[in-house]
Amino acid sequence: MLLGILLATGLGWVLFVWMPLRKLGPTAPSGAGAPFGRVAVGAEVYAANGCASCHTQVVRPANLGSDIARGWGARRTVPSDYLEDHIVPLGVLRLGPDLADVGERRSDVRWYYRLLYDPRAIYPGSVMPSYRYLFARVPLLGTPLPDSLPLSGRDAPPPGFQVVPKPEARALAAYLLSLKRVPPTEAGKTP
């Protein structure tokens, strides 16, 4: 009976500890630290708007898709990428592109503002909803504000007004810009 208990415990340890560690790698902290400030607020805005319903944050290995070939990440995602995150919106369905490394692919905050305001202006035929409620129409006093959107046509505000991001849009863009996966070094530590 004692041998049976030891065998069951040893088999359980092999199945639930050793094999996942061997397949997934060590879970050393990435060194990036937990998000704070505007980025942390942006993670909450991302989760509150259900962005994880259509976007994933997981670069799949080559045998499960062509994420690396598409340029969605330099390496596959490992568990340590999420070790210090408070909110982990991995996503389950991929209607839009993977966002695991979007901060490396797109670094212009104004591009994110334009995408959030009207996704079809950038990607015609996109199914992404518009998040116009994250923007405000404010009076134009002299020159436009640096982060005002350059809108034309039906999106243009009335004369004497400009469209600027609200704090929630700024936070969401900061969060998206922060999504950068740092490749681990051979020792499991980040540079």
- pLDDT tens digits for range 86-96: 667 777 778 88
Neighbours of 82 (CB within 10 A): 16
Residue 7 is predicted with a pLDDT of: 92
Average pLDDT, the chain: 81
Beta pairing partners, 163: 137
Position with higher pLDDT, 190 vs 149: 149
Lowest mean pLDDT segment, chosen from 5-19, 30-44, 95-109, 158-172: 30-44
User: Would the pLDDT of 133 be above 50?
Assistant: yes
The count of domains in the chain is: 1
The structure's pTM equals: 0.73
The answer to the question of residue 28 being in a domain is no
The answer to the question of residue 10 being in a domain is no
Residue 34 is predicted with a pLDDT of: 53
Residue 27 is predicted with a pLDDT of: 55
Residue 166 and residue 65: Cα distance in Å, rounded? Answer: 36
The answer to the question of residue 106 being in a domain is yes
Residue 187 is predicted with a pLDDT of: 38
The average pLDDT across 139-166 equals 89
The answer to the question of residue 190 being in a domain is no
Residue 189 is predicted with a pLDDT of: 46
The average pLDDT across 105-115 equals 91
The whole domain housing 133 covers: 34-178
The answer to the question of residue 22 being in a domain is no
The answer to the question of residue 110 being in a domain is yes
The average pLDDT across 135-141 equals 92
- What are the backbone angles phi and psi of residue 95, rounded to the nearest 5°? -85, -30
* Residue 146, burial from CB neighbour count under 10 angstroms (0-12, 13-18, 19+): exposed
pLDDT bucket at 136, cuts 50 / 70 / 90: very high
The answer to the question of residue 14 being in a domain is no
Residue 35 is predicted with a pLDDT of: 60
- Which residues are CB-contacts of 24 (< 8 A; sequence separation ≥ 6)? 78, 79
Residue 101 is predicted with a pLDDT of: 83
Residue 135 and residue 112: Cα distance in Å, rounded? Answer: 12
The answer to the question of residue 62 being in a domain is yes
The average pLDDT across 24-41 equals 64
pLDDT bucket at 32, cuts 50 / 70 / 90: low
User: Would the pLDDT of 160 be above 80?
Assistant: yes
